[in-house]
Amino acid sequence: MPTPAPKQPSIESLTRRQFFGIYALIYVVYGIVALRVVLSAFESHLSHRYLLLVGVSLLTLSFVLTHLPSLLSSKRMALLLAFQSILILACSIVDESVFMTLLFFLPSIASLMLYFPGRTGIFVILLFMVGALGLRLVFFGLQRELVPLLLVFSGFFLIGSYIDMFLRAKEAFHESQDLLLEVQDSHKLLQLQAAQIEELATTRERNRLARELHDSVSQMLFSISFLAQSALLRLDQDPEKAKTPLTQLQNTSQNALKEMRALISQLRPPSEELNFLQMLRDYLDELTQQFSLRYSLDAPEEIELPPHLTFHLFRIVQEALHNVVKHTPTKHATLTIEQDHESLRLTLQDKGPGFDINTKRLDPSHYGLNTMQERAGLIDAILTIQTQAGQGTTLSLILPLQPPHPSVQES
């Protein structure tokens, strides 16, 4: 799986250009307020007007420093913000009549929330508000400009909260983009795994068909050729004796034709328009006509399954029934199917010679058992086979009726 990208701080996820509008508005307000405070101080011949002018100049210089790349660190910014807060509080004390000096804190709010988002930034704003209110009460009392002061503090809190929400929204956007990339990577990986599974299944199916052709049809064709030569030799010497190999030749060719039809039937994809029971009954009828299969089927009247479950389940039963007609002399099978809202349970029993299942599983040439197990795994089904030499075979399958992994969808 792709490794998720590390969480980035808000100063990296939000560029200055994206934050330009907020800063522009804040600095316009700061410029107007600073100009009015300085002009009012000189018009009223404030005793500390030059000290106030120096304070405003230093404050403006500190705001410029907050935008220099060399100061993009939390420690340096914390020191600079502390200096600005102390300077603003000092100016508010020097300016005895103009409460607007506290508005100098607006640019500091923007930088504070940008570098220290969330509860930390809001807490520092509240701390500044408490300090400013305490100093105003100590130096000027409760009767002077208390209502405008509370309005300014409310504005501080609202601006800080707005910037914090802005940063959270931007951070959430980046996280959603990272999550989208992870989902896309996971989807590509699942598609790749599905393609690999499909290729593996195709290869196994080819190998199985090659083995079936070699074990059955190829051997029968060799027998046909041998019987034909024998009949030709006897035809000249004793025509009556030639009937025996000719009869054997006819039977062998018919069996070879049945084997080829069975293989072609397995290769033919099932139609999605038919339900599982209809497909199963059609295949049982084919085996009955071709191999004289005798069977009993106990199943509900209707079984509704998604196409991909129907496909794999039918292929499993198809392989099991093919093994019955191929390896069981009696050619008799008993099928039982039960279904409820949680699962589908299928049992297939025969009265054949049985086999050593551990030996068959370890033999790589026996693809049938391995293919059935692989198909069962693709649909999250549990497939068990109980058999012993001379005691027949019982195949049991439990299919959970829930959506499987996306990688098992049949193309």
How far apart CA 209 and CA 216 sit, in angstroms, is 10
Backbone angles phi, psi at 274, to 5 degrees: -95, 145
Per-residue confidence (pLDDT) for residue 18, from 0 to 100: 61
Per-residue confidence (pLDDT) for residue 150, from 0 to 100: 77
Mean pLDDT by 10 residues, the chain (411 residues): 45 54 81 82 76 84 78 77 84 68 82 80 85 78 68 82 81 86 91 86 75 62 75 77 78 75 65 74 83 89 86 87 84 92 93 75 62 86 88 92 51 36
Domains of the chain: 10-184 (no CATH), 271-411 (3.30.565.10)
How far apart CA 348 and CA 280 sit, in angstroms, is 13
Distance of CA 122 to the CA centre of its chain: 37
How far apart CA 198 and CA 206 sit, in angstroms, is 12
**Contact criterion met (CB below 8 Å) for 89 and 130:** no
Distance of CA 296 to the CA centre of its chain: 43
**Contact criterion met (CB below 8 Å) for 345 and 398:** yes
Cα 200 to Cα 210, 348, 374, 375: the distances in Å are 15, 27, 10, 12
Kindly give, in sequence order, each residue whose CB lies less than 8 Å from that of residue 207, ignoring residues fewer than 6 positions away.
367
**Angle between the N-to-C axes of helices 20-43 and 106-115, in degrees from 0 to 180, rounded to the nearest 10:** 150
What's the whole-model pTM score? 0.43
Backbone angles phi, psi at 379, to 5 degrees: -110, 20
127: number of CA atoms within 13 Å, CB side? Answer: 12
Find residue 344's DSSP bridge partners: 339, 399
Kindly report, residue by residue over 12-54, the tens digit of the pLDDT.
444 455 667 777 888 888 888 888 888 877 877 777 778 878 8
How far apart CA 104 and CA 114 sit, in angstroms, is 17
Q: Which of 337, 332, 325 is nearest to 297 (CA)?
A: 337
Where do we find the tokens 């000096």? Answer: 101
- Residues in the chain, total: 411
